[in-house]
Each structure stands twice: as C-alpha cells, then as structure tokens.
Amino acid sequence: MTAKVPVLTIDGPGGAGKGTISSLVAERLGWHLLDSGALYRLTARAAVKHHVALDDEAALAAIATKLDVAFPVVDGQPCTLLEGEDVGQVIRTEQAGELASQVAALPSVRAALLQRQRDFCQLPGLVADGRDMGTVVFPEAPLKVFLTASAEERARRRHLQLQEAGVDASLSSLLKEIQARDARDTQRSVAPLKPADDAITLDTTRLSIPEVVDRLTELLAQRGMSNGI
C-alpha cells in the first residue's frame, strides 16, 4: 500500500510529542491518522474489563484479534469507543499507559494488531504515530521520523499536562515511570523501540510544537509528499 499511499511514520518514546504532532500534521495535510498506541491501550482496557491477566499472552492475543473499537467523530470531537463505550479519557491515564506497555511487549499481541494497523493506510495519505511504525508496520514508508526528548523534559511536560487537568502528580515519580517504560520498550524482544535505519531523528527537547510541525512539513515538501501545503 505504501507504494500508492504516502505514509509519514512518527516514532519515539512517550512524552516526545508524537500524539500532538501527528494529529496536527495529519490535520494540516488532510491525511488519515493512526494512533497505534491507542490500540494497545484499548487491548489492555479490554483485558481488564474481561478479567484477563496481563501475562496471559494467548488470551490477550485473542482479545486483540477481535477488538471491538471505533473512532467516530461526534459533534466535531473525536471519540474512542470500546465495545460501544467511550473510553477516550480512561485510556489516556498514566496507569493505562503502563498497562499498554506491558501488553505491547507480548509478540502474539503485536502480531494480532499488525494488519489492523496497516489497514489505516488509505488515500490521500497516512500519518502513523507509534513506536515501531517505521521499523515494522510501514517499513517502506518514504518518510520516517523519530521524535525524542530528554526523559526529564518528557516528565516535565506530562507533569504540566496533569496539573492543567487538575490531577496531582509527583514529578519525580513521573520521571521514574518514564524511565521504566523506556527500558521496557527498548529492551523487549519483538519490535523494540528504536529509529529505523533510514529515519530522521528530531530532538524536541528545546522545540515548540509549531516548530516541530513546521519542520515535518518541510521534510514532506522536500520529498514531494505535501502537495504544496
């Protein structure tokens, strides 16, 4: 599909800005958006809902294969439905992220979700946000970007987000959680978090969101992928 559909993959660790950046770039281009992390968070959520242990790989793979999810836009706002229930807020918590990271380390779960992710590749184009988009899911993508930032900066950003949402959180605890998740993601046996060999690495530690979006738009234009946008 990537031979006919332009694909931009954006990989990187949690807190590097992938979700926000990917959404803004997709909106600017009018392309489809794949939030691959949501699929793992939804798998973990479904496992908890159905009382499936997070170390039961076979049962989790079965859940991933039959995952009943939808991403409709309601009253102009994107929603995330799991078995008809809006879980958009629930799956964005720190706890949900930790559970998703555990589930994502299981080879059978990753295999079960692979084709579902590739099905997002449709015209006019796709922005794919995740941790193995450029290395595993869309290895033939014409533009691959790896966003990163220091663990301290990523913890600071998350702490600010939680404060703005009225959630009390410890900055030191967030830093430890981010470091633990980084270790788990980079050391897993299947599809570890790393830049693709032909990826462009962009450190966002000292960059604003608009600056990163503009940089990615420039890269797309250089490859003739942005239709002049």
Q: List binding-site positions.
A: 12-20
Length in residues, the chain: 229
Cα–Cα–Cα angle for 114, 120, 126, rounded to 5 degrees: 120
Q: Tell whether the torsion through CA atoms of 199, 201, 202 and 205 is positive or negative.
A: positive
Residue positions forming the annotated binding site for ATP = 12-20
Helix (H, G, I), strand (E, B) or coil at 60: helix
Respond yes or no on whether the N-terminal peptide bond of residue 124 is cis (omega within 30° of 0). Answer: yes
74: left (phi over 0), alpha (psi -120 to 50) or beta: beta
Respond yes or no on whether the N-terminal peptide bond of residue 107 is cis (omega within 30° of 0). Answer: no
Amino acid at 217: T
Cα–Cα–Cα angle for 176, 35, 217, rounded to 5 degrees: 100
CA–CA distance, 161 with 90 (Å, rounded to integer): 15
CA–CA distance, 71 with 86 (Å, rounded to integer): 9
Look up residue 190 and give its two tokens: 């299947």
